[in-house]
């Protein structure tokens, strides 16, 4: 894949409907500070291309668990991360996406939030069965393109409505709801609304936390998350991957003007709705007593855009959310069945895995719906800040393990495992405390424990990363060093090692001995054939018998298990695997152009940070 689809795909994977709602809501509630998360990503995506991708390409891996397997060995780290990723899916992806989509439906049709959630899930189920994953892949790019057109159009309409940037800077501080408690700060815009760097002690986003604490989860997301890295590894070679990252980095400049500031404009235009300060009034407006800032973007879409564009924007937003939900459900089901269920029941049948996967997705959906009230109440009703706080509790230990694994040769499996365990144990404790002692509403006395009240989640991210790093360092140094095969071509300093002879030798694939049916499976798919009692049929592909009932065929189709008749003679021969690191070579001229662009992009990012600091 060439550089521009890679860049567009990275941006599309990162910026979805929840992003529009969350960033606009944070802009309406507290100003431009949430932009720091986006501009932090400007640098992290470049770190991926220039530092991490050469290691992944040299290692010849296609997934992040595969890298950890090669680098550390054993299975407990992979199982531990599988469980962690399922929790992250629930806390920051499924429930957030459902909530974001339901908000759009609620504002457009004036339905109850939970009826909207059920409606969204029902449509998603039909969408998944009718179109499947292929529909998600083919429509993502078009949806993102239309979303960007709609977002830029809405931005133009919004700025025209308030008289440009100068008008926004003046009118934002007058956007005060008519019904608020006198002699209190409830409902008043923040005085530092147009600053990214804020007070290190008493602000909502302290500047030391923004610079350091925010960078750690950002590195996890951009440099080690499977969705992002997979898209970068799809590039033709390292040069195209770098070009894609540069494109994404430049596009990350847009969210301030395309999402955050329109959210602030929404507060100016609808102060009694978006900036409501009374819990009872907020509950009537949006069903959330903590605040209604998250309705800022849907409100703009419904009130400012012309009728045709409004409907198109709404439909694309909902379609993008359904695409996201479908992808997440598929990933969660795969992680649970392949990494967990298959580990405990290695001889389970294809039917068992199918049923377990479907039941698990249903369970995941129910848990996510039950989690929505906590999403609403989290971080004063700001969806985007809720996502970032959860990330700060769960992601730093994983980021530390990847960074030390890539850049410290002495890191071993025991150090990585105990760094993960201790770091995540502390993170989960803080997460539980956050939900037991929620942030008080404006005007209420803060009775939370000191560790929750005084330690901002970005500062906690820094502490968590430090403890995890020290644990990995100490345990690794006190135990045996990793073997040479767990270091060669798997760290920054050994990425140029020559491949082992076993990598270069052409040996028959074990799949070939099992027949064409096995060889046709993707490399990342586990063996889900019927257990050994049917081993005599291993060399035959499953096919529909002519007498099979239409009911059974329909059931198989609904479950995504169509049995296609295949003949061994028509099977395409498997393509030879490319050698590890084959795409690392760069032409000198292209390399210089990319490095100059890197310098320009970093300078642009620093200028933006300094200008809005």
Tracing tokens 């298959």 back to the chain, one arrives at 342
Question: Could you tell me which of 439, 107, 114, 160 has the C-alpha nearest to residue 273?
Answer: 107
Q: Residue 47's pLDDT is what?
A: 95
Average pLDDT of 169-188?
82
Query: Per this entry, what is the length of the chain?
Result: 613
Task: Give 144-173 pLDDT, tens digit per residue.
Answer: 677 788 888 889 999 999 999 999 999 999
Q: Residue 242's pLDDT is what?
A: 94
Q: Residue 306's pLDDT is what?
A: 85
In the DSSP assignment, the letter for residue 374 is H
**Confidence label for 539 from pLDDT (cuts 50, 70 and 90):** very low
Average pLDDT over the chain, rounded to an integer: 80
Q: Which stretch, 59-63, 315-319, 530-534, 553-557, has highest mean pLDDT? A: 59-63
State yes or no: pLDDT of 138 exceeds 80. Answer: no
Task: Give 226-244 pLDDT, tens digit per residue.
Answer: 778 888 888 888 999 999 9
Distance CA 284, CA 291 (A): 11
**Confidence label for 544 from pLDDT (cuts 50, 70 and 90):** very low
Buried-exposed string 544-575: b where 16+ CB fall within 10 A, e elsewhere: eeeeeeeeeeeeeeeeeeeeeeeeeeeeeeee
Q: Residue 10's pLDDT is what?
A: 84
SS3 at position 314: helix
State yes or no: pLDDT of 402 exceeds 90. Answer: yes
Query: Do 92 and 390 contact (CB within 8 A), yes or no?
Result: yes
Task: Give 355-373 pLDDT, tens digit per residue.
Answer: 888 788 888 888 888 888 7
Average pLDDT of 302-321?
80
Distances (CA, A) of 554 to 126, 130, 360, 551: 15, 12, 21, 5
Distance CA 21, CA 15 (A): 11
Q: Residue 287's pLDDT is what?
A: 78
User: Is the C-alpha dihedral spanning 106, 112, 114, 120 positive or negative?
Assistant: negative
State yes or no: pLDDT of 403 exceeds 60. Answer: yes
Average pLDDT of 543-571?
50
131 versus 158: the higher-pLDDT residue is 158
Average pLDDT of 256-267?
93
**Confidence label for 400 from pLDDT (cuts 50, 70 and 90):** very high
**Confidence label for 122 from pLDDT (cuts 50, 70 and 90):** confident
State yes or no: pLDDT of 513 exceeds 80. Answer: no
Q: Which stretch, 117-121, 132-136, 232-236, 257-261, has highest mean pLDDT? A: 257-261
- Angle, vertex CA 297, rays to CA 291 and CA 302, nearest 5: 115
Q: Which stretch, 44-48, 308-312, 368-372, has highest mean pLDDT? A: 44-48
Task: Give 429-483 pLDDT, tens digit per residue.
Answer: 999 998 888 887 777 787 888 888 889 999 999 999 999 999 999 999 999 999 9
Q: Residue 92's pLDDT is what?
A: 80
pTM: 0.81
Q: What whole-number percentage of the chain has pLDDT above 90?
A: 32
Which of 312-316, 345-349, 520-524, 547-551 is least confident?
520-524
Distance CA 195, CA 33 (A): 6
**Confidence label for 552 from pLDDT (cuts 50, 70 and 90):** low
- Kindly give the interhelix angle for 76-88 and 64-72, rounded to the nearest 10 degrees: 150
482 versus 308: the higher-pLDDT residue is 482
Q: What whole-number percentage of the chain has pLDDT above 70?
A: 81
DSSP code per residue over 528-574: ----GGGGGGTTS-----TT--HHHHHHHHHTT-------GGGPPPP
Phi and psi at residue 151, to the nearest 5°? -65, -40
Q: Residue 500's pLDDT is what?
A: 64
Distance CA 81, CA 68 (A): 10
């Amino acid at each position: 894949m060439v550089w521009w689809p890679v860049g567009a795909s990275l941006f599309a994977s990162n910026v979805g409907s929840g992003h529009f709602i969350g960033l606009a809501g944070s802009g309406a509630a507290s100003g431009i500070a949430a932009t720091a998360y986006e501009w932090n990503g400007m640098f992290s995506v470049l770190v991926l291309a220039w530092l991490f991708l050469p290691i992944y390409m040299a290692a010849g891996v296609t997934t992040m668990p595969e890298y950890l397997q090669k680098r550390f060995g054993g299975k407990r780290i992979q199982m531990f991360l599988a469980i962690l990723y399922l929790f992250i899916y629930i806390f920051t992806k499924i429930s957030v996406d459902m909530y974001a989509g339901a908000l759009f439906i609620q504002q457009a049709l004036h339905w109850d939030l939970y009826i909207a959630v059920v409606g969204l899930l029902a449509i998603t189920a039909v969408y998944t069965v009718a179109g499947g994953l292929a529909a998600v892949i083919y429509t993502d790019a078009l949806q993102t393109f239309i979303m960007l057109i709609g977002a830029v159009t809405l931005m133009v309409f919004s700025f025209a409505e308030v008289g440009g940037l100068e008008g926004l800077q003046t009118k934002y501080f007058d956007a005060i709801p008519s019904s608020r408690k006198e002699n209190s700060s409830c409902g008043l815009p923040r005085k530092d609304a147009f600053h990214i760097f804020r007070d290190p002690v008493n602000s909502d986003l302290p500047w030391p936390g923004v610079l350091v604490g925010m960078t750690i989860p950002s590195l996890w997301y951009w440099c080690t998350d499977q969705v992002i890295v997979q898209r970068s590894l799809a590039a033709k070679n390292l040069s195209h991957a770098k070009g894609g990252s540069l494109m994404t980095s430049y596009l990350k400049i847009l969210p301030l003007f395309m999402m955050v500031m329109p959210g602030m404009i929404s507060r100016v235009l609808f102060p009694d709705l978006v900036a409501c300060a009374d819990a009872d009034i907020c509950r009537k407006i949006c069903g959330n007593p903590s605040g209604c800032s998250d309705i800022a973007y849907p409100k703009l879409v419904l009130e400012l855009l012309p009728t045709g564009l409004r409907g198109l924007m709404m439909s694309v937003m909902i379609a993008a959310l359904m695409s996201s939900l479908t992808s997440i459900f598929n990933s969660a089901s795969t992680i649970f069945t392949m990494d967990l269920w298959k580990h405990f029941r290695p001889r389970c049948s294809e039917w068992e895995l199918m049923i377990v996967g479907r039941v698990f997705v249903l369970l995941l959906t129910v848990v996510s719906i039950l989690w929505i009230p906590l999403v609403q109440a989290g971080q004063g009703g700001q969806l985007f800040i809720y996502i970032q706080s959860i990330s700060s509790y769960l992601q730093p230990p994983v980021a530390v393990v990847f960074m030390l694994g890539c850049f410290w040769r002495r890191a071993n499996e025991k150090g990585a495992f105990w760094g993960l365990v201790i770091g995540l144990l502390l993170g989960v404790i803080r997460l539980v405390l956050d939900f037991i002692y929620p942030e008080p509403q404006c005007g209420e006395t803060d009775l939370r424990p000191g560790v929750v009240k005084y330690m901002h989640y970005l500062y906690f991210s820094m502490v968590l990363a430090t403890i995890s790093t020290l644990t990995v360092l100490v345990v690794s140094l006190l135990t045996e060093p990793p073997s040479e095969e767990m270091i060669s071509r798997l760290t920054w300093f050994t990425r140029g090692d020559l491949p082992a002879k076993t990598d270069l030798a052409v040996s028959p694939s074990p799949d070939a001995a099992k027949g064409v049916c096995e060889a046709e499976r993707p490399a990342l798919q586990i063996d889900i054939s019927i257990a050994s009692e049917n081993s005599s049929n291993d060399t035959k592909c499953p096919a529909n018998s002519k007498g099979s009932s239409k009911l059974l065929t329909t059931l198989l189709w609904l479950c995504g298990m169509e049995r296609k008749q295949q003949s061994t003679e028509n099977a395409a021969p498997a393509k030879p695997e490319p050698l590890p690191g084959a795409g690392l070579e760069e032409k000198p001229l292209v390399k210089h152009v990319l490095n100059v662009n890197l310098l320009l992009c970093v300078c642009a990012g620093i200028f933006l940070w300094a200008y809005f600091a």
